[in-house]
Amino acid sequence: MDKRKVPCVRPYHGAAGGWDALAAVASALRSQEVIVDGVKTLLRNNQPEGFDCPGCAWPDPKHTSQFEFCENGAKAVTWEATSKRTNPEFFAAHTVSELLTWSDYDLENEGRLTHPMAYDAETDRFVPVGWDEAFARIGTALNALPDPDLAEFYTSGRASNEAAFLYQIFVRAYGTNNFPDCSNMCHEATSVGLPVSIGVGKGTVTLEDYDQNDLLLSFGHNPGTNHPRMMTTLRATARRGVPIIVFNPLKERALERFTAPQDPIEMATLSSTPIASRIHQLRVGGDVAVLKGMMKRVLERDARDLAEGGPGKLDRAFIAAHTTGFEALKADLDATDWTDIERVAGLSRAAIESAGDAYVAAERVIIAYGMGITQHRSGTANVQQMMNLLLLRGNVGRPGAGIAPIRGHSNVQGDRTVGITEIPSAALLDGVERAFGFRPPARFGHNAVEAGKAIMEGRAKAIVCLGGNFAVAMSDPRAIQAGIRRLDLAVHLATKLNRTHLMAARESFILPVLGRTELDLQASGPQSVTVEDSVSMVHASRGLLKPASDQLRSEPAVIAAIAKATIGRRFDIDWDGLVADYDRIRDKIEAVFPEFKDYNARIRQPGGFLLDVPAARRVWRTPSGKANFLLMDGLCEDPRARESGVLTLTTLRAHDQYNTTIYGLNDRYRGIFGRRDVLFMNEADLAARGLAHGDRVDLESMPPAGEAPAQGAALTLTAIAYDVPKGCVAAYYPEANVLIPLAHHDPESGTPSYKSMPVRIRRAA
């Protein structure tokens, strides 16, 4: 292949972590003009009394909230603690039409929002508005809707339990279950898939289990970038000699080797710890094929062992006592052909068998996974097949074993626990009635895809967003953006300006809120909020920095004020009292959800408390009362992927981004510096199209026959030769979202199939 140099693209040879991670933090501090003293306080104070890192949902060691160095956590904090401001002068100087031409990076890089702003159509600008006027106008607009189901209430997973809970109470009292949620784009396949399997939609392992497993299987997550504190755990696992087998189309550097910035010897000697014992570069979307292949191998090894007079390789006692559906699964696996498995997985039978053998050899297995599993049309099936593999050898509900969905947003799991769901259970409705004296609507509301569709099609009239960047994070973003501009009302509780805010509806408000790092002072004094991490630990978080502006209000305060302005007279809820002292919100959470018993007492224990995950005790809250082996037909192969010339596109996060927040233009570990407009391609796929490393290419999305493409479904990128499997390409999220139609999602969970979109590629004109 042609060795021509492409600007800003050069291989990175270092381990993940190390000195470059420290340098990146220093540069983040500089670029966000964070006052260094403030940062020192901030790091020193991130102790039990401190705040929960807004970066990710990985648990804290020993549950003490002690600060672990993490480059991307530091970036998340500096991005919020920046001294830059997006103030009324800024909005006066720029029309919305002009701001729409800015990049996502430039918009957020203006810094923290400081004042409540309302859109003024005449001047095409956001202008300052008083808080009370904003609330009154929002209340009037919501009350003017003929049907509460015409409003969509989005939640992004940074919201605290307290904020999310008040929000869902307000929205249900208002009269709808329209709760599109970032979780719908993220781990929904987990939340929908696991309850059918094991009776709970959460992971079954705690941090302690990672000290006891003797095999870790990692599917489709990139912890070096997205959960850097997990690297401490992975490094300890590797150093214990425990094999870590990775399935990922990309050889992510942090899964190859890692230098712990806390380790003086590794840092001084520029050495590193190898992490994965083996990285299998499967094809995008090949996970079910791999899992079925591994399970076939387990059954084969079992049969062989039995034939040789051994006890077999299955946990027969567990299968008999605790599960249903084993025979059907076995029949399905017997009927699955290795040739198909190899084709769809893009791996050899020998490679998959070796992973199956490692699984059989291990006594305590954890499977950790991320978006590479969930964001497919087969996301739910992917999750369930992983669970099948674990059930075969009883790898759930005992020390060192279980399933570990690695959650995204720092409180996405907690938001769901406290009632953000479009499909309320009877228990939830009863709980709300018990605690608040009204019966909420039972009819199901909209998830993110359904809300997007309603907005596009003009069936929705209002959107309220508790954080996030809905119209950029979603699939088919252009159509959703156009839809928002036709609404009667758009309200955003936010910390930084983003593109979704600029989609001005008839009435539009940007309401600036306190971030997690900031002191939240209410009538009874400084408040703590609570969050739930990936392993179901709930703990307190208290901000300590001076708020970015004296105009900021807390999320609970803003939600309560909107509630008062909208439904204040219709319900007997003491909104002011709840906001005055968040202990009262937690008392109400406890009244609705019995699992939060003694909530206020338990979050005052260092490290907080663990919510019950019945499956971790081998109690299965499924209709059968058992854990269920679940079937999935075939190997989830996209028929389009077999057509000639079609490639499967997956979308990735760069190292310098937090979802739609772009911190910078580097993706250091993948060797991209200063740009994001690249398409990672296999050399053979470049050659087959007569393309060279560095050529500009147009991508065209190829939805299944009969399905409409996304609005403006074309994108031009620079193709670069990269170590990805043949037939697969990768580009950055959110830029590539324009290629993904809304209909391209997992029918069971509604999760958009962001990680497998058939595309065609040709040289750009």
Ligand X SMILES: Nc1nc2c(c(=O)[nH]1)N[C@H]1C(S)=C(S)[C@@H](COP(=O)(O)OP(=O)(O)OC[C@H]3O[C@@H](n4cnc5c(=O)[nH]c(N)nc54)[C@H](O)[C@@H]3O)O[C@H]1N2
User: Which residues would be at the binding site for ligand X (CB under 6 A)?
Assistant: 55-56, 72, 108, 156, 158, 182, 185-186, 219-222, 225-227, 247-250, 252, 282, 284-285, 287, 370-372, 375, 408-409, 466-470, 473, 493-496, 498, 513, 515-516, 555, 650-653, 657-661, 733-734, 736-737, 754-756
Q: Please, what is the end-to-end C-alpha distance for the chain in angstroms?
A: 22
**If we measure between CA atoms, which residue out of 428, 375, 429 comes closest to residue 405?**
375
226 touches, from ligand X, Mo ion, none (C-beta below 5 to 8 Å by class)? ligand X
**If we measure between CA atoms, which residue out of 466, 391, 385, 463 comes closest to residue 635?**
385
Q: Do 501 and 491 form a contact (C-beta atoms < 8 A)?
A: no
**325 contributes a contact to Mo ion by CB under 5 A:** no
Q: Do 180 and 448 form a contact (C-beta atoms < 8 A)?
A: yes
Cα-only R_g, the chain: 25
**Binding-residue pattern over the window 166 to 205 for Mo ion, x denoting contact by CB under 5 A:** --------------------x-------------------
CB 264 to ligand X: min, Å: 25
Binding segment toward Mo ion, per CB under 5 A, in 235-243, 406-414, 688-696, 710-718: 406-414
Cα distance between residue 163 and residue 419, in whole Å: 11
C-beta of 227 vs 313, nearer to ligand X: 227
**56 contributes a contact to Mo ion by CB under 5 A:** no
C-beta of 91 vs 219, nearer to ligand X: 219
C-beta of 319 vs 552, nearer to ligand X: 552
**467 contributes a contact to Mo ion by CB under 5 A:** no
CB 409 to Mo ion: min, Å: 6
Q: How many helices (H) and strands (E) does the chain have?
A: 30, 31
C-beta of 299 vs 412, nearer to Mo ion: 412
Looking at beta carbons, which residue is closest to Mo ion? Answer: 408
C-beta of 201 vs 408, nearer to ligand X: 408
**734 contributes a contact to Mo ion by CB under 5 A:** no
Cα distance between residue 282 and residue 249, in whole Å: 5
498 touches, from Mo ion, ligand X, none (C-beta below 5 to 8 Å by class)? ligand X
Q: Do 608 and 537 form a contact (C-beta atoms < 8 A)?
A: yes
C-beta of 164 vs 641, nearer to Mo ion: 164
**If we measure between CA atoms, which residue out of 561, 527, 548, 534 comes closest to residue 162?**
527
56 touches, from ligand X, Mo ion, none (C-beta below 5 to 8 Å by class)? ligand X
CB 663 to ligand X: min, Å: 8
C-beta of 252 vs 332, nearer to Mo ion: 252
CB 448 to ligand X: min, Å: 9
C-beta of 57 vs 627, nearer to ligand X: 57
**408 contributes a contact to Mo ion by CB under 5 A:** yes
C-beta of 408 vs 664, nearer to Mo ion: 408
Cα distance between residue 181 and residue 745, in whole Å: 15
CB 59 to Mo ion: min, Å: 17
CB 765 to ligand X: min, Å: 25
155 touches, from ligand X, Mo ion, none (C-beta below 5 to 8 Å by class)? none
Binding segment toward Mo ion, per CB under 5 A, in 123-131, 340-348, 404-412, 419-427: 404-412
CB 433 to ligand X: min, Å: 28
Helices 338-345, 287-307: inter-axial angle, 10-degree rounding: 140
10 Å CB burial of residue 42 (0-12, 13-18, 19+) is: buried
CB 410 to ligand X: min, Å: 8
607 touches, from Mo ion, ligand X, none (C-beta below 5 to 8 Å by class)? none
193: tokens are 């898939």
Residue 497: count of CB within 10 angstroms of its CB: 28
59 touches, from Mo ion, ligand X, none (C-beta below 5 to 8 Å by class)? none
Q: Do 210 and 180 form a contact (C-beta atoms < 8 A)?
A: no
Residue type, 574: D
DSSP 15: P
CB 128 to ligand X: min, Å: 18
Q: Do 185 and 737 form a contact (C-beta atoms < 8 A)?
A: no
301 touches, from Mo ion, ligand X, none (C-beta below 5 to 8 Å by class)? none
389 touches, from ligand X, Mo ion, none (C-beta below 5 to 8 Å by class)? none
CB 188 to ligand X: min, Å: 9
Q: Do 609 and 537 form a contact (C-beta atoms < 8 A)?
A: yes
**76 contributes a contact to Mo ion by CB under 5 A:** no
500-507 — which CB contacts under 8 Å span 24+ positions?
500/465, 500/468, 500/469, 500/470, 500/471, 500/472, 502/96, 502/99, 502/100, 502/107, 503/471, 504/96, 504/119, 504/121, 505/119, 505/462, 505/463, 507/118, 507/119, 507/137, 507/138, 507/141
| Sheet bearing 529-532, strands edge to edge | 529-532, 537-541, 609-610
Cα distance between residue 681 and residue 34, in whole Å: 38
Residue 648 is inside which H or E element, if any?
Answer: strand 647-652
C-beta of 372 vs 424, nearer to ligand X: 372
C-beta of 206 vs 469, nearer to ligand X: 469
List residues binding Mo ion (CB under 5 A).
186, 408
